[in-house]
Structure 1
Amino acid sequence: MTATARAAAVPDLPPVRGRLTHAAPLAPLVWFKSGGAAEWLFEPADADDLAGFLARLDPAVPVMALGLGSNLIVRDGGVSGIVIRLGKAFAQVQRLDETSLRCGAGASGILVSSTARDAGIGGLEFLRSIPGTVGGFVRMNGGAYGRETVDVLVQAQVVLRSGEIRTLPVEDLGYTYRHSNLADGAVVIGATFRGDPAEPAAIQAEMDRIAAAREASQPLRSKTGGSTFKNPAGHKAWELVDAAGCRGLRRGDAQVSTKHTNFLLNLGSATSADIEALGEEVRDRVKAASGVTLEWEIQRVGVGA
């Protein structure tokens, strides 16, 4: 049963000042350009709108936050409950002091790193290379090029599923590799990052180096989901996938990238089922070839068609 067909399962929704859309297609909002609809898509006007909505929403209704949709497979049957998408009201970045920025959860890594550069704050350049928003970085301990969110985060502001707004210091998030202990249904609405004093020209040079490295090694202009599998201890996921003979492997219009084998691509009309099944085939082949079980880094949500 699709999310659209299940719409009657959600009870009367609380009033909002933002936008609530029933049976909202999610494929246009995710990088793979595949998948079903959200039963309800909520775009809150501000933090109070979000908190009030969650406080009044039936606790049994599932809630999921959606950022740029870059590291996500939305299954073809869609997503039940409420999908929350934070808009411009949550995309502001402000300098707090000589080394700190306050960032809305909807701000992109490019905006955060560029603002840091202009303020002479170094150490946040790696955020430029992560195709996502602050909310996703905080929830998943996003990282690249030797640094992770845990290295620069001071505190995060979240709205709990109950509607309570809380500020959590980095120590309370229980970070490990691509994981936090942030509760299901909690929505990150902001974060404070701290770097180090640096010259803007040096910061820009590092950002340029990172951009060039990504351009050379990743399929940036493809319909993809970013890094598919976590790097197992002592291994690089792409090397294991390559060694298992999966470079260029296809299932319908879903393909393992020939440029970077830890990326899956939608070559045109792949369904989310095609993409996920290809990922599972890669996992099986890697297990058979090396004995290593790859773990998904891409989040997979919703139900099959």
Structure 2
Amino acid sequence: MTAAAIAMPAAARLPPLRGRVQAGAPLAPTTWFRVGGPAEWLARPADLDDLLRLLRELPDAVPLTVIGAASNLIVRDGGVPGVVVRLAPRGFGAVEAEAGGVVAGAAALDATVAEHAAAAGLAGLEFLCGIPGTIGGAVAMNAGAYGAEVRDVLDWAEVATAGGLRRLSNAELRFAYRRADGLARRAVVVRARLRAAPGEPAAIAARMAGIRAAREATQPVRARTGGSTFKNPPGGARAWELIAAAGCRGLRRGGAQVSEKHCNFLVNTGGASAADIEGLGEEVRARVRAACGVDLEWEIRRIGVPSP
């Protein structure tokens, strides 16, 4: 069923918000791939109270999807039924450095949090400058890069639910590889505290510069891409090595291509559809399975319904 097919029922049940609510909102321009259909309803709550009202009053039968910077996301061509929530920096993007850490809103960019920590002479969060996305998404998927993950530095996260605001500890979030099993369905991360330690500003800046240079040198950062496509499988193998061994580097489907620079990245070379990108990813999985006997698991999140 497409988003348009169920627009009227969801509209009738959407609670009034002070923030912006848009019907049939295009999502493709917000994603790094620049593909995909519209949201049936796109809600940008004004603040925490607005978000809590939405979660409290939205009927459970209406689908709810939360997106952040949409940097690691495929929106399918048929659009996303129900309500898509996107937290705006104005209400959810504050970043404050304090003794021993940084408290950041879910809409704050990971790189921005790393920069705030560096400006305050706090070390340990440099890895965030190499992760394209927001803190909310980083907590939800236990994002990691360059030898560190969110679970290594997180003290707590505040989560909005239909029952109110909860503060979950690192242990309660039950982090695993690229996921937080302790996050309930329809729960929305709104704020998090990340540990950091006093450090030498010059050394912190040098580490961040090194991460940025390494990312520029090895990843297609200037292309329309969605970041790492597949999780590294258990056992120490790297997804990109398996993809290369299966002969998939440069493989194309429509306007989608496996990056020549880093073959765990898919890119929109121009004119790709979401179906092209997802279909190419599935072809890569099939070839790796046939060549290496390994089932690669998607790291990129895929939402919505296919085009009719």
Q: How does 1:117-156 map to 2 (within 5 A)?
A: 117-156=118-157
Task: Specify the code of the residue in structure 1 equivalent to 2:255.
Answer: D
Cα separation, 2, equivalents of 1:154 and 1:62 = 30
Cα separation, 2, equivalents of 1:95 and 1:208 = 21
Q: Quick check: 1:35 aligned with 2:21?
A: no
Q: Which structure 2 segments of 5+ residues have no match?
A: none
1:175 aligns with: 175
1:85 aligns with: 86
2:267 aligns with: 265
Offset of residue 122 of structure 1: 0.3
Is the 8 Å Cα contact of residues 50 and 163 (structure 1) preserved in structure 2?
no
Identity over aligned pairs, percent: 57
| CA root-mean-square deviation | 0.9
Is the 8 Å Cα contact of residues 18 and 45 (structure 1) preserved in structure 2?
yes
Cα separation, 2, equivalents of 1:13 and 1:289 = 49
Task: Specify the code of the residue in structure 1 equivalent to 2:28.
Answer: A
Task: Specify the code of the residue in structure 1 equivalent to 2:136.
Answer: G
Among 258, 278, 281, the alignment partner of 2:280 is 278
How many equivalent residue pairs? 303
Partner of 1:220, secondary structure, is coil
Q: Quick check: 1:101 aligned with 2:99?
A: no
2:196 aligns with: 195
1:294 aligns with: 296
Give TM-score, length-normalised by structure 1. 0.98
Deviates more, 1:118-127 or 1:50-59: 50-59
Partner of 1:48, secondary structure, is helix
Task: Specify the code of the residue in structure 2 equivalent to 1:269.
Answer: G
Give TM-score, length-normalised by structure 2. 0.97
Is the 8 Å Cα contact of residues 4 and 38 (structure 1) preserved in structure 2?
no
2:165 aligns with: 165
Is the 8 Å Cα contact of residues 62 and 185 (structure 1) preserved in structure 2?
no
Task: Specify the code of the residue in structure 1 equivalent to 2:249.
Answer: R
Task: Specify the code of the residue in structure 2 equivalent to 1:294.
Answer: L
Q: How does 1:49-88 map to 2 (within 5 A)?
A: 49-88=50-89
Q: Runs of 4+ in structure 1 displaced over 6 angstroms?
A: none
Offset of residue 240 of structure 1: 0.3
Partner of 2:5, secondary structure, is coil
Q: Which structure 1 segments of 5+ residues have no match?
A: none
Task: Specify the code of the residue in structure 2 equivalent to 1:60.
Answer: A
Task: Specify the code of the residue in structure 2 equivalent to 1:2.
Answer: T
Q: Quick check: 1:220 aligned with 2:221?
A: yes
Task: Specify the code of the residue in structure 1 equivalent to 2:256.
Answer: A
2:4 aligns with: 4
Partner of 1:229, secondary structure, is coil
